[in-house]
Amino acid sequence: MHTFFQQTLNGLSLGSIYALLALGYTMVYGIIKLINFAHGDVYMLGAFWGYYVINTYHVNFLVALVSAMVVTALAGMLIEYLAYRPLRNSPRITALITAIGVSYFLENGMSFLFGANTRNFPQAITQHNYDVFGITVSNIQILILVTSLVLMVLLQLIIQKTKMGTAMRAVAVDPEAAALVGINPDHVISFTFGLGSALAGAGGVLIGLYYNSIDPLMGMTPGIKAFVAAVVGGIGSIPGAAIGGFLIGLLETATQAVGLSAYKDAAVYVVLIVILVLLPTGLLGKNVKEKV
């Protein structure tokens, strides 16, 4: 039982990072029906920004986290403005290919500018381990879980309780009708990209602190897994994305715990296939009929 609870804690810590990434995927898809495959690389930018400000200016963890969220939010809005907005009325496949191109551009650009070598992320917080009923809990795991949950709650408050959140929900349902009542869809879409990118940037700093290593390609696999989490939870559903992220984290940790570390990625995609066969819209997704 100790092993079970220990692996559950590890899975929740990892799953909270996937949940933050999955929220960005699901928000963007809910607004403009785009799968932003460059989202994982925005997460990488957040990790590198945290690495830079901690090493250069010796700031504390909170300053690094908030500044990474601001920088990645701006990066996300810039990507939307330059790469996706001109293709707003183009076929979806065009925007999808562009997203893949942006992803490769960010990965190779960072490799060219800063090198492809793995870097040790500075430990802005000294790790302390606590023994609770035979389970080892570190202060960094607690910090990751609490920070992720706080950010998810804040996101839900923004969407449900603010004017911009109301505008986001209106544009997601009917952009043309939203424009008729005075909502600027471009501003709403830009804000959505910024909000999702800020969460990805926070995830990058948290994972750097957790694993103590970063590299320009670090966003590729987590980005795909977070997309899987969003689909499993129900693409377009914010609670579903969060639940999907935690489920993927728990699944990956459980696969490693039973000695199948080499197949942890395969297990994630097997679950995706099973979910899509049994529940095509995901756990919390809704069937939406489209007029032909």
User: How many CA atoms within 13 Å lie on the side-chain side of 146?
Assistant: 7
Is 180 inside any structural domain? Answer: yes
Question: How many structural domains are present in the chain?
Answer: 1
Determine the Cα–Cα distance for residues 256 and 275; give it in Å rounded to an integer: 21
Positive or negative, the Cα torsion across 101, 105, 111, 117? negative
Is 118 inside any structural domain? Answer: yes
Is 246 inside any structural domain? Answer: no
Determine the Cα–Cα distance for residues 237 and 200; give it in Å rounded to an integer: 17
The answer to whether 74 and 92 have CB atoms below 8 angstroms apart is: no
Give the residue among 207, 201, 263, 252 at the shortest CA–CA distance from 228: 252
Is 209 inside any structural domain? Answer: yes
Tokens of 178: 């939203």
* Prediction pTM value: 0.92
Tokens of 65: 């986290």
Per residue of the chain (292 residues), give pLDDT as tens.
Answer: 678 888 888 999 999 999 999 999 999 998 988 889 999 999 999 999 999 999 999 899 999 999 999 999 999 999 999 999 999 888 889 999 999 999 999 999 999 998 889 999 998 888 888 888 778 889 999 999 999 999 999 999 999 999 999 999 999 989 899 999 999 999 999 999 999 999 999 999 999 999 889 999 999 999 999 999 999 998 888 899 999 999 999 999 999 888 888 888 888 889 888 888 888 888 887 665 554 4
SS3 136: strand
Is 115 inside any structural domain? Answer: yes
pLDDT at 288: 55
CA angle 222, 208, 54 (to 5 degrees): 145
Q: 180 is in which domain, residue-wise?
A: 2-219
Determine the Cα–Cα distance for residues 246 and 258; give it in Å rounded to an integer: 19
Is 242 inside any structural domain? Answer: no
CA angle 68, 199, 74 (to 5 degrees): 55
Is 188 inside any structural domain? Answer: yes
SS3 128: coil
pLDDT at 222: 92
Question: Helices in the chain by DSSP H: which ranges?
Answer: 2-32, 39-57, 61-79, 92-114, 139-161, 163-173, 175-180, 185-211, 220-233, 238-257, 264-278
| Distance in angstroms between the alpha carbons of the first and the last residue of the chain | 54
The answer to whether 283 and 234 have CB atoms below 8 angstroms apart is: yes
Give the residue among 33, 31, 29 at the shortest CA–CA distance from 189: 31
Is 109 inside any structural domain? Answer: yes
